């Protein structure tokens, strides 16, 4: 049986996984999910990327939005707001609240996040094994100019770090990110099963997830990047940038923070040939194939818009085909 490990962020990763699962229904798919987006709100631990994967593959996702539950209501949020308790800018719905309550209750009882995720997946049956990248707390912070602070003596604006969700959801990435820091990653350990899954994998895939705050954060957990690079199996990625703009989200803002141009070729070079063996770019970026190959990464141009499950399954097939070419 084919074993595939996929590193995944939120919406892009989840939709890709749905296509992959339908392209290779018999494969054993292990998903290593980003937990750098996790946030504690109202005393509850919220894991947006794990939940997005779980709900998307389990049939409970709000399809148009790409995150949160279908047929959601917001009574609890409204009641909290009536007490003056926020943040109001983060949309936690009533159905979604139940997930965070169960998760937080189990964590308080001493279960690690990996065990909690397995328990939550027992309900959703996503058809993949979903592992958090780590059981330890990692929180992505973004360094921005502080509009409320006086400039320093050097005339430069003072800066402050905000939680990734505040940057992404409240500020809509409307201000420049000077740095992206996965706080806690340095001392985090890969969750049980992550390194084993990589070691036993036939292929590792990077879906068109955010290369900085999703896949970059997973790779920042000591041991994961090394395990993938040393696994000796094809590692193939799909570009989240099509025609010099992110397919969705605001990846350009965080790419700039790490000094990477918003282009399919630059993202491939950012991962580097030491990690990546194959790279799929969209047909509109066919002109960059030669440059990526010169950098030592096998590259093909294929349609990369995840219009529906069929189109996404075809992308997954192309990624697996490229993996076979690399392996040969
Ligand atoms: N994204 C938004 O744009 N606005 C929200 O209010 C919001 C709430 C939310 C609640 C639970 C959840 O699992 C995800 C949520 N997201 C929301 C998505 C999330 O902020 C990001 O898209 C991901 O963290 C990036 O992968």
What does the pLDDT profile of the chain (328 residues) look like in tens digits? 899 999 999 999 999 999 999 999 999 999 999 999 999 999 999 999 999 999 999 999 999 999 999 999 999 999 999 999 999 999 999 999 999 999 999 999 999 999 999 999 999 999 999 999 999 999 999 999 987 877 666 667 799 999 999 999 999 999 999 999 999 999 999 999 999 999 999 999 999 999 999 999 999 999 999 999 999 999 999 999 999 777 877 888 899 999 999 999 999 999 999 999 999 999 999 999 999 999 999 999 999 999 999 999 999 999 999 999 999 9
Cβ-contact 113, 107 below 8 angstroms:
yes
For residue 214, count other CB atoms closer than 10 A to its CB. 30
Atom 18 of ligand 1, nearest CA residue: 67
- Choosing from 12, 67, 81 the residue with most ligand 1 atoms within 8 A of its CB, the one to mutate for a pocket test is 67
Inter-CA distances, 246 with 6, 264, 305, Å: 20, 9, 11
Q: Does 37 contact ligand 1 (Cβ within 6 A)?
A: yes
Q: The domain 3-135+186-327 belongs to what CATH superfamily?
A: CofD-like domains (3.40.50.10680)
Q: Please give the pLDDT value at position 173.
A: 93
Q: Does 97 contact ligand 1 (Cβ within 6 A)?
A: no
pLDDT tens per residue across span 172-198:
999 999 999 999 999 999 999 999 999
Nearest-atom number in ligand 1 for the CA of 96 is 11
Q: Does 67 contact ligand 1 (Cβ within 6 A)?
A: yes
Nearest-atom number in ligand 1 for the CA of 34 is 26
Q: Does 68 contact ligand 1 (Cβ within 6 A)?
A: yes
Inter-CA distances, 50 with 30, 126, 229, Å: 13, 11, 24
Atom 2 of ligand 1, nearest CA residue: 169
Residues of the chain with CATH 3.40.50.10680: 3-135+186-327
Residue by residue, DSSP assigns 109-147 as TT--HHHHHHHHHHHH--SSEEEESBSS--EEEEEEE-T
| 51 assigned to a ligand binding site | yes
- Choosing from 36, 100, 120, 169 the residue with most ligand 1 atoms within 8 A of its CB, the one to mutate for a pocket test is 169
Nearest-atom number in ligand 1 for the CA of 168 is 20
pLDDT tens per residue across span 257-277:
999 999 999 999 999 999 999
Average pLDDT of the chain to the nearest whole number: 96
Cβ-contact 124, 23 below 8 angstroms:
no
């Amino acid at each position: 049986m084919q074993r595939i490990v996929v590193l995944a962020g939120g919406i892009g990763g989840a939709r890709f996984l749905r296509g992959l699962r339908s392209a290779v229904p018999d494969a054993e798919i292990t998903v290593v999910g980003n937990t750098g987006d996790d946030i504690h709100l109202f005393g509850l631990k919220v894991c947006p990327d794990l939940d997005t994967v779980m709900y998307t593959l389990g049939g409970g996702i709000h399809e148009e939005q790409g995150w949160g539950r279908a047929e959601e209501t917001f009574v609890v949020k409204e009641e909290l707001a009536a007490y003056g308790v926020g943040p109001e800018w983060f949309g936690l719905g009533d159905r979604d609240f139940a997930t965070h309550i169960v998760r937080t209750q189990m964590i308080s009882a001493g279960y690690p996040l990996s065990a909690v995720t397995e328990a939550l997946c027992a309900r959703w049956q996503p058809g993949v094994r979903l592992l958090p990248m780590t059981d330890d707390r990692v929180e992505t912070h973004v360094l921005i100019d502080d509009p409320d602070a006086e400039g320093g003596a050097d005339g430069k604006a003072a800066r402050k770090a905000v939680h990734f969700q505040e940057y992404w959801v409240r500020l809509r990435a409307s201000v420049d990110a000077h740095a992206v820091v996965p706080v806690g990653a340095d001392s985090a350990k890969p969750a049980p099963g992550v390194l084993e899954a990589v070691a036993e994998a036939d292929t590792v895939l990077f879906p068109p997830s955010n290369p900085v705050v999703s896949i970059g954060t997973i790779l920042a957990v000591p041991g994961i990047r090394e395990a993938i690079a040393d696994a000796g199996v094809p590692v193939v990625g799909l570009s989240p940038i099509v025609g010099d703009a992110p397919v969705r989200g605001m990846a350009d803002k965080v790419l700039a923070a790490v000094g990477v141009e918003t282009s399919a070729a630059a993202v491939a070079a950012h991962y580097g040939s030491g990690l990546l063996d194959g790279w799929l770019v969209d047909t509109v970026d066919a002109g960059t194939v030669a440059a990526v190959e010169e950098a030592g990464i096998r590259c093909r141009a294929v349609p990369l818009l995840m219009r529906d499950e069929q189109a996404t399954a075809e992308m997954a097939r192309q990624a697996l085909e490229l993996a076979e070419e690399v392996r040969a």
